[in-house]
A and B are shown apart, each in its own frame.
Chain A
Amino acid sequence: MSVRPMLADETMTWRASAREWLRSGNSLPFWLLAPSIFLMLAVIAYPMLTGFYYGFTSGSLLKTGKFVGFDNYARLLQSADFLHALWFSLVFAVFNVIGCYVLGLGLALLMNQDVPFRGFFRVALLLPWIVPSIVSIVSWRWMMADQHALFNQIIGVFGGSPIYFLSDENWAIAAVIAIKIWRSFPFMMLSLLAALQGIDRSLYEAAALDGASRWNQFRYVTLPQLRNISIVLCLLMTIWTVNDFDTPWLLTQGGPANATENLVLLAYRYTFGRNDVGLGSAVSFVTLAILMVLVVILLRRQRER
């Protein structure tokens, strides 16, 4: 028996390779993975299958209901709440990704310069990302709570009339997006900074020798070099935004009048507010279906690299 681990052929099916390990007495990788696989099956796979089934029932949290086929999904398509949540999820994701990318890239470019105490800024600018959601939102809420709050005092100094950020629908949507950008741009900045530092210096030297201006160097060297990582980062950010519960819930609880309710909040409200497990499960599976499209694109891009 060889001391090296079995190198199973990539073309072998996973079942055959699992059997191979067990038979050859080299079942170690299987046992190493066993606890992890068990937890994933018990806490993710099993509930997911049950949840998928719940989507076709009329159950409540206390009592599993009877099978109703595609009723829940049909109800969703006719529901204004659902269509709004779908729309808001989209708007939320698109604006957040654009905002994070612009802010993140701008700051990453700035920090990629020769600035004193660069390490300090890298850490200090990460804070919004690591503070617990509740903590940052308490502070943001205080700043925009009512007509005497900080933002309105500042607006007052410039002679404007107070804005009711959290009770006006459009302003609430803008506020949720702005705070989400604030909470998530540091990740973008950090990853783009790492990517910028990975670009070969000689590309810039060659471009400079050819007489390229700073702008053209950015346009023809930096941007193409960042292309792949940018696409991956934007996809990830989209997925995380669609999944976000904390920002809209803690800021406005989905209000006013459900204006800031995304799909996750809607699934939560149907399930835990209206006690309709079937409808809640159906919404969460629609969310999953949308996310799977993004995940597949993401996986494909990563395989290409």
Chain B
Amino acid sequence: MNNLASSRKRWGLFWLLVLITVIVNLPIILMVMNSFQTTEQLVNRTTILPHDLTVANYRYLNERTNFWTFLWNSFTVSGVSTITSAAVAALAGYALSRFRGRLITGYSRALFVVQMFPIILALIPLFILFRTLGLINSPLSVIILYTVVHLPFATWMARAFFDTIPRELEDAALVDGCSRFGAFVRIVLPLSGPGLAAIGIFSFLFSYNEFFVANVFLRDQESMTLPVGITMFMQQYSTDWGSLMAAATVTVIPTFILFLGIQKWITYGAVSGGVKG
């Protein structure tokens, strides 16, 4: 009897959560459905559910817009900044995990504080500097900024992963005549492969999704990343909701795939990076 009641309650909660999940994700669900509708259908439609599906928007995206350039730019910028920041963060994270001292604590705290700064603060002077260096509209400007902006978060995650690797392993390597750095490279790094992969995916996601910095530095269509490129669609083809929805849908696909890869690390990352400091 009791069992039946508790099972009914469990499934009641289940259906409640299904409803909440659908409502919360409605903007995303609608976007995907809308991408298979012409703009005309979108504007004049009187029902929520789409009818007469069409891939016209995707064909338009492919043939008439710079979509693939934007996507390619996004991948290069995110890829390069991910590799750089993961490498720098791994070194620093190892130092924070294994050594103590004023420099270490001070730097760790500085990283935490810097993460809270408004980005615009560095953007204005860097824009002037990059302009004289000819780096506006160059992927390099954005790569440099992404590398640094994600560094604090990546460093803490790296530190948290290194903390889980027992020190005894390095001590054994040291006894066998390995240098400390050698022990790090040969023993600790290979063991933290999954951790570094998670950090890499996090950084990649941040860069791939980022809009503000890219919007400031990438001003011509040849250099734009996807988030900025899509805003061009909004202005140029202001009423063309169809191709806008299609562009947004394709943009979100890599995000979904990467997100599924790190979803089990997300609590870990969010809590270790954002909250613990």
Contacts and interface: CB of A to CB of B under 8 A. Distances in A.
Contact of B124 (A18, A35, A51, A249): A51
A289 B174 CA distance: 47
A117 interface: yes
B122 interface: yes
Interface in B137-156: 144-145, 147-148, 151, 155
B194 to A, nearest CB: 19
A191 interface: yes
The CB with the most chain A CB atoms within 10 A, among B88, B106, B145, B231, is that of B88
A194 B267 contact: yes
A29 B103 contact: yes
B99 A5 contact: yes
B20 A107 contact: yes
A190 B99 CA distance: 31
Contacts of A111: 17
Contacts of A64: 128
B103 A18 contact: yes
Interface string A103-138: 000010011011111000101111110111111101
Contacts of A51: 121-122, 124-125
A105 B116 CA distance: 24
Contacts of A167: none
Nearest to B13: A115
Given A128-B25, A140-B27, A44 B114 contact: yes
A3 B118 contact: no
| Secondary structure call for the B interface | helix
Nearest to A285: B121
B197 interface: no
A288 B270 CA distance: 23
B14 interface: yes
Interface stretch (B50-58, B60-68, B247-255): B247-255
A284 B144 contact: no
A271 interface: yes
Interface residues of B, number: 97
Contacts of B216: 268, 272
A143 B30 contact: yes
A280 interface: yes
A14 B148 contact: no
A258 B151 CA distance: 34
A267 B120 contact: yes
Given A116-B14, A299-B113, A291 B102 contact: no
Nearest to B90: A32
A8 to B, nearest CB: 4
Given A44-B122, A114-B10, A3 B116 contact: no
B27 A40 contact: no
Interface string B226-259: 1100110010000001001100100110010001
A149 to B, nearest CB: 9
A42 to B, nearest CB: 8
B267 A277 contact: no
| Residue from B31, B114, B147, B276 having most chain A Cβ neighbours under 10 A | B31
Interface stretch (A74-82, A94-102, A232-240): A232-240
Contact of A13 (B94, B102, B145): B102
Contacts of B260: 123
Nearest to A136: B27
A226 interface: no
A17 to B, nearest CB: 4
Contact of A135 (B155, B174, B252): B252
A39 B147 contact: yes
B91 interface: yes
Contacts of A32: 91-92, 94-95
Among B118, B230, B241, find the residue whose CB has the most chain A CB atoms closer than 10 A.
B118
B275 A229 contact: yes
A44 B14 contact: no
Given A117-B14, A136-B28, A232-B275, A281 B102 contact: no
Contacts of B227: 132-134
B21 to A, nearest CB: 5
Interface of B: 10-11, 13-14, 16-17, 20-21, 24-25, 27-28, 30-31, 34, 42-44, 46, 48, 87-89, 91-92, 94-95, 98-107, 109-114, 116-122, 124-129, 131, 144-145, 147-148, 151, 155, 171, 174-175, 180-181, 205, 208-209, 211-212, 216, 226-227, 230-231, 234, 241, 244-245, 248, 251-252, 255, 259-260, 263, 266-267, 270-271, 274-277
10 contacts: A26-B180, A28-B181, A35-B91, A135-B252, A135-B255, A136-B28, A242-B118, A284-B118, A291-B118, A295-B113
Given A12-B101, A233-B275, 18 more contacts: A7-B101, A8-B101, A17-B102, A29-B103, A33-B104, A37-B107, A40-B148, A47-B121, A113-B10, A121-B17, A131-B28, A132-B209, A139-B245, A190-B270, A245-B212, A272-B127, A287-B118, A288-B117
Please name the 4 residue pairs, one residue from A and one from B, whose CB atoms are nearest each other, closest first.
A14-B102, A8-B101, A32-B95, A47-B125
